[in-house]
Structure formats: C-alpha cells, structure tokens
Amino acid sequence: MQGPGLLVLLLAAIAFIVVMTARVRLHPFIVLLLASLGVGLISGLPAQQVISSMTGGFGSTLSSIGIVIAAGTIIGFIMEKSGAAMVMANSILKLVGEDRSALAMAFTGGVVSVPVFCDSGFVILSPLNRTMAARSKQSLSVFAIALSMGLYSTHVFVPPTPGPIAGAGTIGADLGSVILWGLIVSIPTILAGYWFAKRYGSKIYIDPAPHVVEESKEKREIKQYPSVVKSFAPIVVPVVLIALKSLADYPSRPLGTGALQAFFSFIGNPNIALLIGVFLAFLTVPKITKEVLGDWVGVGLASAGSIILITGAGGALGQVIRDTPIASYLSSSLSGLQFGIFVPFLLSAALKTAQGSSTVAIITTAGIIAPLLEALGLASGLGPTLTVLAIGAGSMTVSHANDSYFWVVAQFSDMEVSQAYRLQTLASLVCGLVGIVVISILYFIFV
C-alpha cells in the first residue's frame, strides 16, 4: 500500500480503536493489538515482521516504564489507605487559609492527584470538600468543580500519575522535563478550573449537607494520620531525585562527570526514584504489617497491571506504524506543517471524548504519534515533552457520561446529571483548551 491509502489506513485504525473501545466495550489491550495486526498486514508488511514489530514494541515500551507505573500505583494506594493524602490536603488548607478555601481545594486536588488517581482523590477529599463548603456558606458545586479540575489537571500532566508516565515513555520524553513543564502547565489549568467554579458553579446551589460532614469529621478524628513530612516525602523525594538526574545529565554537565554526577544519574533514574518512594510510602503507615507489605502492595500491582498491559499494547502499535511506510509518507506530507502541536491534542481529545478514559487516550495517542514526531516538527529539544503535555490536555477534553470520573464527581457532589454536564463537562472543556493554549505558547517560544 502506498500514498494516500496509508493515511486512510491510519485513520481507519483510529476509527477502529474508537468504535471497539467506546461502542463494543472491548478491552483496550485487545483492541490495540488487533489494530497493530491490521495496520501491519494491510500495509503490506510480511506476517513474521508484523509479529516481530508487535513484540519488540511491546517489550521495549515496558522495559522503560513498567516498573515506574507499578511503583507509582503502589505509592498512590498506600498513601490513600494510610491517610497521607488527607494530611497533604489539610496542610495546604492551613497554608492558604479558609478565606480562600475553594482555591485551596483546587490546589489541594492538584497536589493529591500527583500520586493518587483523580477519581480516588475526589472520594478521599469529598468529606473535606463538604466541610469547607459548609463553613464558607457556599454551594457545594463551587468546591466540587474547583477540586475536580485541580485533581484532573495534574492527573493528565504530571508524573508519576500512570498516564503521563506512559506517555513520556512511549514518546521518549525526559521524565524530569515532563514533571517540570507539567507542573508549569497545570497551574493555569487549575486556575481556569477555579475561575469556572466561581463564575458558573455558584449559579447552581447544592447544599453541602452539614450533618453528613460532621459524621465524616468524627470518623476522621479517630484515624491516626502520619506526619506532614512523612506524608509529602513519597511524592516530593522521587520528584526531586528525578529532577536532579535531569540536571546531572544536562549536556553542560553542571555536576561534573565524576562520582557525584554518576550518583545522581543513578538514584534519579525514575525506576530507582519511584522504588525509593514506595519505601517512603511504607513510613506513612502507623504499623508496617504483613497486610501492608503484602495485600496493599498486591492491590496496587493489580491496579497497575491493566495500565501496564495497555501501555505495552500502545507501544506495539507505535512500533508497527514505525515499520510501515506510513511514517515516511506522513513525514513528507506534513513536512511544512507549522502547527504540529495541535495534532496530538486533537487526536487525544477525540479518543477521550469517544471512549471516556484519559489514561487510555494518552497511551493510545502516544503510540500513534511517537513515529510521527519528526514529521510534526516535534522530535527535538522541548518537542517530545510538549507533545506529552498536548496529549494530556486532549485527554481531559471532555469528561462526560462515558467517563467514570464524571460519575464520581456527580455522585459525591449530589449533582443531577444535567447539572454535571453543565459543570463537570464544560469545566473540563475549558481546562483542556486553556492547557493547549499554554502549551502552544511554550511551543512557539521554545520549539
């Protein structure tokens, strides 16, 4: 197959992925493998080469980020169970103050969602959210959307959340760079969510139900929480170590080329840094028992397993695309394109809107875009990092009825479905658009 037929084949593969995951509800792992087979065979690759490309892409992808995803998921689960996530939330509230409680909840969500999935984070912080809404005598909808978008922003932009980790690994972006620029992009996105919550959320009044708040408060007082230092350490320490590795490996070698540089390059490797984070997470538990060491870790690994397999399947699809004439054809066709950063955003947004999962949208889009970086003008410098972030912005555009997070926010905030569409869905659209605007500005400045 040659020429425009290759582009039609790629579009058909994307349509197949959307239909099979969104309509048929076939698991993304199977869908991505079937898409890999279809693209390889129909494009004219020999059958044995298709298999070789699939297994090679699967293995190489998991070799770079499999351990990182598993460790990050374990950290998040332990912090959720130990109460460390709640300690982080209360610490931020004390720092910001109750007078700016809605803004505080937005940034609390931003911090908590770095280790914890956004839907789990919303459940954890929901009692605190109700308390703050009741104290400030505001509608629960304001706090719900501020918190929801705060959680959502770092969920799609900042590792070690599995989606951005998988995206960075597939694209080949430096993880420290993704963390740094992901944090930068997430700030205006969180502020956009807060603005939407105050501007439009306040028009829909939802009673925060104080009697429920008090019951939850009493339950929280019974629990023995870890200290602030212990609570933040599993997140802050790995992020700092990864950042130091990026600094140590910088071409100008600011830390030299001796033992110091080698040490930080080793300890800041994402696999090592996240493994250190796991053991720091153990310290947030009052008593380390067999249940913590075995059962809790096991549940975290079970949650990570599906993500790891989907990521590997996305890598398989990406490798097949690389080995077909599709990449070279698109490279010549798109060589004059000046707005390449919008391509991953639009593809990710289409996949997100169609099938609901932000993580699946990130992984799938990364697998498709990775072979096309050169054609899109995103292969060098800050290009791979901004590509990962553009995919992340698309993956939050938009959250609606096929997204489990949509229902978590609606149910835990006493929203009717029509209200959730007016609040959660529109807010995610605003935040996604703000995210890609910020990323495109960075693109025109640095790429």
- Torsion, Cα 16 17 20 22, to 10 degrees, reads -120
* Residue 217 CB coordination number (10 Å): 14
| Cα-Cα-Cα-Cα dihedral sign, residues 43, 44, 48, 49 | negative
**What's the confidence (pLDDT) of residue 183?**
95
**What's the confidence (pLDDT) of residue 98?**
65
Cβ pair 405, 399 in contact under 8 A: yes
**What's the confidence (pLDDT) of residue 289?**
85
In DSSP notation, 373-428 reads: HHHHT-SSTTHHHHHHHHHHHHTTS---TT-HHHHHHHHHTT--HHHHIIIIIHHH
**Residue with tokens 């077909």, as numbered in its chain:** 324
Per-residue tens of pLDDT for the chain, all 447 residues: 677 888 888 889 888 988 888 788 888 899 999 999 999 999 999 999 999 999 998 998 888 778 888 888 888 888 888 888 888 878 877 777 666 889 988 998 998 888 777 887 887 788 778 877 887 788 999 999 999 999 999 999 998 888 898 999 999 999 889 999 999 999 999 999 999 999 999 899 998 864 444 444 444 444 688 999 999 898 888 888 887 887 888 777 888 888 999 999 899 888 898 899 999 999 999 888 888 888 888 988 888 888 888 878 888 988 888 888 876 676 566 555 566 899 999 889 888 887 778 988 899 889 889 988 888 889 989 999 999 999 999 999 988 877 888 888 888 888 888 899 899 999 999 999 999 999 999 999 987
**What's the confidence (pLDDT) of residue 214?**
44
**What's the confidence (pLDDT) of residue 221?**
45
Distance (Å) of CA 355 to CA 117, 349, 426: 18, 10, 17
For the chain, the domains span 4-446
Alpha-carbon gap, residue 166 to 298, rounded angstroms: 21
**What's the confidence (pLDDT) of residue 52?**
95
**What's the confidence (pLDDT) of residue 229?**
94
**What's the confidence (pLDDT) of residue 338?**
60
**What's the confidence (pLDDT) of residue 45?**
92
Looking at 137-209, list the stretches that DSSP marks H as alpha helix, in order from N- to C-terminal side. 140-157, 162-171, 175-199
